[in-house]
Structure 1
Amino acid sequence: MDITHRKNTEQRIFEQHCFQWPVKDGIYFIAREDDYKNAAASCRYQLGSIASYELLYNAFQPSLENCKEGWLISGEIAFTELKDACILKPPEQRSNVFPCQSYQSGVYCHKEYNTSADILDYLPKTQRIIRLTNSNSKMLNAEDAKICCSTKFNGQLATPLNVYNNSLSLGVNLCGNGWLSGMLEGNPCEGHTPPDFWLYPAGNFIRFKPLTGDSQAFCLVPLANQSYIDPFPSHRVMSGQGQGRHTLNYYDADALCKSRGGRIASKIEVEYAQQSGYDVCEFGWVKNGEIVYPVVQPRSGCANIPTVVNVGFKDKTTFTAMAYCYM
C-alpha cells in the first residue's frame, strides 16, 4: 500500500469513528476523549482549528439535539450549562464550565485554520465571569480555585454581587454554589428579590465554609478598566461554619475569623448588621462569649419579630455553634 493510499484510508477511518454529525457552516464535532492540547491537534489534523463559541452558536442556534460536550477555542467545554445544556444561549449569556486541570472531552472544530486563534480573547465581552471546575469528576477546593483563576485566566474570584448582577441583569445562569472572593462560598442567586443584595436572605446562603471543601468557582477575568471590588457587605459581618453547621467552639470560631483576615464580631456589630438588613438564622459566637443570631424576616423556627436573638453565654470549650466574623 503506497503512502497516499494509506493516508486516505486513515482519514476515512478517522472520520467514520470520530465525526458525530455532518459539517454545518464549517463546524463539526470529533468524538474523542482528549485534553485541550490533543483536541487542538485533532482539529489541525483535519486542517482546521478549534471552533469558537460564536461559530458554534451561529451554526446551530437555538439548540442542538443530542448535543455532546466538547472543547472550544476559549478553553471552555460546550454544552455544560447549569440548566438546559443543549440550548445555545447568545454568546454574552453563556456559562459553560472552564476546566483548571485535566478534562477529557470531544472537540468542536472549524474547517478553516486560524493562525491567530491562540492570541485572541474568546471570552464574553460584556460579562467576564466564568465557571471553573477541576476535571470531569472533581471540583475545586478554595486554594486551587484561587490559584487557577489567577494563574490560568489572569483573574480573581468574583464577589457575590458580581455573580448576582450578571445573573439578574445579563441573564447568565451562574446560579449554583461556588467559591467567591474573600474565600466565601455559596449561591449568590438563592432566593434574592430585593434591590440590595445583602438584605435577607443573602446571609443564609453566603458564608465562610471549610477551605478544603469541593465546589465550582466563579472567576472574574477583568477588562483593562475593571478594578478589584470589596466582596463584603458594608456592615462587615459574615457568618462562618466548620465541617458542618454548629461545629465550632468559641476558640474554633475565633480562629476561623482570624484565618479569613478578620476577627470575631462583637454583639454590637451583629446588631448593627441586623439593622442594616443582615439575616442569618443560625446560632453563632460573638466576642464576649454569647450565642446570638440576627433575624430581619420573622419566620417559624427563627423569631417572631425582627431582632438579634440572644441565646446567652455558653461554655466556650464544649458548646458548638457557628461564628460571626467582622471583616
Structure 2
Amino acid sequence: MITVKLYLVMILNLYLTSEQSQSKKNFYFHKIRLHVESPETLVSGVQGSNATLPCHYRYEPALSTPRRTRVKWFWQPVSGEGQERDVMVAIGTRHRSYGDFKGRVRLRRSAPGDASLVINPLQSDDTGRYRCEIIDGLEDESVTVHLKFRGMVFPYHSSRGRYLMNFHEAKEACEKQDAHLATFEQLYASWEDGLDWCNAGWLMDGTAQYPVVLPREACGGTDLAPGVRSYGIRDKSLDRFDAFCFTSTIRGEVYFLQHHIKLNFTEALEACQSDGARIAKVGQLYAAWRFVGLDQCDAGWLADGSVRYPIIQPRMNCGTSGPGVRSLGFPPKHLKHGVYCYKVHW
C-alpha cells in the first residue's frame, strides 16, 4: 500500500518534471541559434591565381546587439589522412595565419556575417577539405568546403627510361615540370575525358594506377572493362613506376621560338634567355596546349631535355592519331631541334 507521504513525493516529482520540460521548451523557443552555411561546398581554382571559399554565419532570430565571434579555418589534404591543420584565426579585425598559408590568406568580410576565406596565390598543395568554424562564446558551428584545381593530368617518365622512379622521385619529377603528382580523383576525371595510357604511374596517395579507355591485350587484356586499373598501395621507396602529373592553368606564355637555325639543347637554353624568357617545362607545354590552344607542328626542346610539340588539329606530317602533346623522347642533347620558351606575365 502506498503511504500518503510516498504519494505526495510522487505528485511533487511529476509536477517538477512537467515544469522542467516546459522550461526547456520555453528556453529552446527563445534561444538564439547560430547558423553557419556555405552556398558552395565545392570550389574550383587554378594554380597561381586566387580562390574564395564561401562561409557565412547568421543568428536566428537576428541579434539586437552583435556578439564577439571568433572565425577559424582548418585544412585537411585530399586523402583525408592526418589531423586538420590550422589555416587562420580571426577575432574582430585581428587575424593570424599559419604554416604555408601565412601571408596568403584573409577573410573577405564583404558583409556582416561573411567569413569567406580568400587564398592568393593558390599553391600546388592547397587542394583539400577546408572547415570554417564560428565560435561566439556560447556555441560553435562549422561548415566544410572542398577546394580542387581545374587542370589536366599527363603521364611522365624518367629520362633514363620507364618504370624507374620510386614515389619520392616521381613526386620531385612532377614538381620540376611545374606540376604535382595527380590525385586519384584527378586521374579518374582525366580518364572520363579520354586519357588512355598503358603504363602505370604513381599517384599522390601512394598507389600505382593507369587509365584504359580501349581495353587491349597489352593493357590488362580485352576481358576487363574500361576504367582506371590499380596496382594498389605500393612501397614508396622500393617500387618503381612512371608518374601521373597534374598541371593547372599557367600565368605566363608558352611559345615556339622562331629561330633562323635549329639548336642543340645548350643553344636552346641560351636562345630563350636572349628572348627574355626561359625554356618551357613539360607541364607548361601541356597547360598551354590544353587551356590556351597552342598548336605547333614543330618539335622543340623542353627544360627536362625532352623534345615535344603540341597539336590541336591533327594533320599530315604532324601526327594523325588525335589531339595531344607529341613526344620524341629524350634525344642526345647535341642534336638540333627548335625550342619552346616560357615568358612570365606579371
Please classify the TM superposition score into its range, dividing by the shorter chain length: under 0.3
Considering fraction of residues, name the structure with more strand: 2
Taking structure 1 as the reference length, the TM-score comes to: 0.26
Considering fraction of residues, name the structure with more helix: 1
Instruction: Look at both structures and tell me which one has the larger radius of gyration over its CA atoms.
Output: 2
